[in-house]
Amino acid sequence: MSRIEQIINEIEEYIDSCKFQALSNSKILVNKEELEELLVELRLRVPEEIKKYQKIISNQDAILREARTQADAMVAEATAQTNELVNEHEIMQRAYAEANSIIEQAQAQAQAIVDGAVTEANNIRQGSVQYTDEMLGSLQTIIKHSMDGAQGRFEAFMSSMQSSFDIVSSNRNELAGSVIREPETEAAAPYMGGEAPME
């Protein structure tokens, strides 16, 4: 497991271990320094991993050069053997036939080495690109998962608050309907003049 994958696992474990903020189902309390330390290391490690595989890809040129060098050496050796055979006059015809056969074999072996080196270099390049893509895809999945989880917790929190609000509103309405008003008493009519009441 690469260091990048370890850091991603540590971030996931750290987020899962954080406590929720009081009265909240969506917000968590994090240690800013600890989380920033993990993110900074992740930010530094990603270019290093990419550079490492870019270096591997660049080594394909060295692989091809080595293969061509081996092929040239084999052809040179075959040519030297041919020249030695040709120098012998008594076996001139045989020397030409053997020389051609050796050269053909050397060329076939050289081509096989070059082809193998090209295939190996392409496989290395494809593997490094695939690994980098998988690594970035994993990071993308983590970020998406965190976003989806935060959205879900926020929606659950809003639903809980709406339910509490509805209950409070219902209770107030019930209280308002249960208030009994006392009937007003008939006040004595005031004396408006005329004959005074008899005693």
Mean of pLDDT values over 89-98: 74
- Rounded to whole angstroms, how far apart are CA atoms 197 and 191? 9
The most confident of the ranges 92-106, 111-125, 181-195 is 111-125
Amino acid at 25: N
Confidence tier at 198 by pLDDT (50, 70, 90): very low
What digits encode the pLDDT tens for the residues 111-162?
A: 999 888 888 888 888 887 888 788 788 877 887 877 887 788 888 888 888 9
pLDDT of 5-29, one tens digit each? 787 888 888 788 878 777 777 777 7
Cβ neighbors of 172 (< 8 A, separation 6 or more) are none
Confidence of residue 191 (pLDDT cuts 50, 70, 90): very low
C-alpha dist (Å) from residue 59 to 35, 50, 62, 64, 70: 37, 14, 5, 9, 17
DSSP 3-state of 118: helix
Across the chain, the runs of DSSP E, i.e. the strands, are 19-20, 28-29
- Cα separation values, 44 from 35, 47, 49, 133, 195, Å: 14, 6, 9, 17, 109
Rounded CA gap, 197 and 199, in Å? 6
Closest by Cα among 3, 15, 1 to 43: 3
In whole angstroms, give the CA distance from residue 125 to residue 132: 11
- Work out the mean pLDDT of the chain and round it to a whole number: 78
- At 135, is the secondary structure helix, strand, or coil? helix
Average pLDDT over residues 160-181: 82
- On the question of pLDDT at 81 being above 70, the answer is yes
